[in-house]
A = this chain, B = another copy of it.
């Protein structure tokens, strides 16, 4: 392929999904896709990285049923209102109508918290920090787009309980730190954590904090969000603990939801180039591919034998590698594996076989940049080059993200910045629904811009500034962007 993603992101995105066989969109249920091996292998590695991070921070894995009785679902009022329009309902099993219809989980609060009520008795049971890796189903009414928004997606949901508000707030912060450690540092995706406006919170939450990353077409995509649930759900589901004095109080709760299939989509969109995927070394299904260059026929056997020796050397070092011994030309293979984002290509011809060397080409190197290295240190060099590649991806993504930030004081400035595909900081009247939602609606209607909220940790209130939309005294600096 040869498509400039900054000029035609949609075309680039669809072409890479199809040509690198990431997903097949022809499945005959609308909004559902088939994930193919090349994306699934990366997503498995991403799941493992995230689960390791969650477990290192005290979370334990569990598995809750995919079906939730309608009555559970109705226990928390805001939650049912927020999710009911999106629920797939099961009403029949075998030939029989069920006594009560069952929701296919759109998220698991209402499945999990009734169990938490049974498990939590006293302070010894707290904190309770549990996650599950699973798929969820939401009958999205917005246009679907593979990886970014589909009616079935693969995520992790972590649901934590504490005896104090302070610990719950600390957990929200930790969730953001985990996002930094995994999504930014490991997957190389920069983002901005915003506290969402009151009118755009998770149904049932006190506060919602969500990470927005920027796609090459200048639209932001929401990555993991973490929610301070307060005691809303705990009161509704009777999740109480008894303190030292014998008083029973509702627990403080948080939940956190990294969506792996979406983050994978963001990852390849952020790092890809005109030739196709560019994958961080640790999350590439294949880290190195060996392409034998069989020039003269008589060398063929020796070259293939040496290629096997190289492969064994890499496998022994724990690298994911293979030989491409298909009958295609080397040039065809180069394009094929560049499209698939394999970090390191190893070319092996007669000279390399004779010298016991390897010629390396790194996926993001300028054209014709090659290095010949000895076999003895090949695994070590490849690992080093892989680390350097991943580090470059982070830097490049950060540079792009940081260079697409703007400030606006007027609607004209805001409009101009949004049209250039920027995330825009602008003074804004209020994040309360009654005072502030009308301006967000206006910005949406006039400029196709979305008010994403206040940047987490941004100390400066907007003293003396005027709301970019209504001109009233601004309480905050809001971040505005066009969204997916």
Contact = CB atoms under 8 A, between A and B. Distances in A.
Interface stretch (A34-42, A290-298, A462-470): A34-42
A88 B85 contact: no
A34 to B, nearest CB: 5
A89 B88 contact: no
A32 B137 CA distance: 18
A89 B90 contact: yes
Interface string A22-38: 00101111001111110
A415 B374 CA distance: 71
B41 A61 contact: yes
Interface in A412-446: none
A91 B94 contact: no
Interface in A62-117: 62-69, 72, 84-95, 101-102, 104, 111, 114-115
Interface residues of A, number: 52
B63 A34 contact: yes
A91 B104 CA distance: 12
A398 interface: no
Q: Give the interface centre of A33, A61, A114, A137 by most chain B CB atoms within 10 Å.
A: A61
Contacts of A72: 28
B85 A89 contact: no
A91 B89 contact: yes
A137 B66 contact: yes
A64 B29 CA distance: 11
A34 B94 contact: no
Given A27-B65, A61-B40, A93 B87 contact: yes
A102 B27 CA distance: 13
A24 B63 CA distance: 10
A135 interface: yes
A85 B93 CA distance: 8
A89 B84 contact: no
Contact of A93 (B62, B102, B139): B139
A29 to B, nearest CB: 5
Contacts of A137: 66-67
Given A28-B69, A65-B152, A88 B86 contact: no
Contact of A27 (B24, B60, B93, B115): B115
A210 interface: no
A247 interface: no
A29 B103 CA distance: 11
A456 to B, nearest CB: 30
B115 A65 contact: no
Contacts of A29: 65, 67-69, 102
A93 to B, nearest CB: 4
A54 B202 CA distance: 40
Nearest to A133: B44
Given A89-B92, A118-B26, A154 B84 contact: no
A403 interface: no
A311 interface: no
Nearest to A55: B41
A141 interface: yes
A228 interface: no
A123 to B, nearest CB: 13
A333 to B, nearest CB: 15
B118 A24 contact: yes
A85 B41 CA distance: 35
Nearest to A61: B40
A130 interface: yes
Given A24-B115, A65-B152, A94-B141, 7 more contacts: A26-B115, A29-B102, A41-B60, A63-B154, A66-B137, A84-B94, A89-B90
24 contacts: A27-B64, A27-B65, A27-B111, A28-B114, A29-B67, A29-B69, A33-B65, A34-B65, A34-B115, A35-B64, A37-B61, A37-B62, A44-B61, A66-B66, A66-B104, A66-B135, A66-B152, A84-B94, A86-B93, A88-B93, A89-B92, A89-B93, A91-B91, A94-B141
Interface of A: 24, 26-29, 32-37, 40-41, 44, 60-69, 72, 84-95, 101-102, 104, 111, 114-115, 118-119, 130, 135, 137, 139, 141, 152, 154
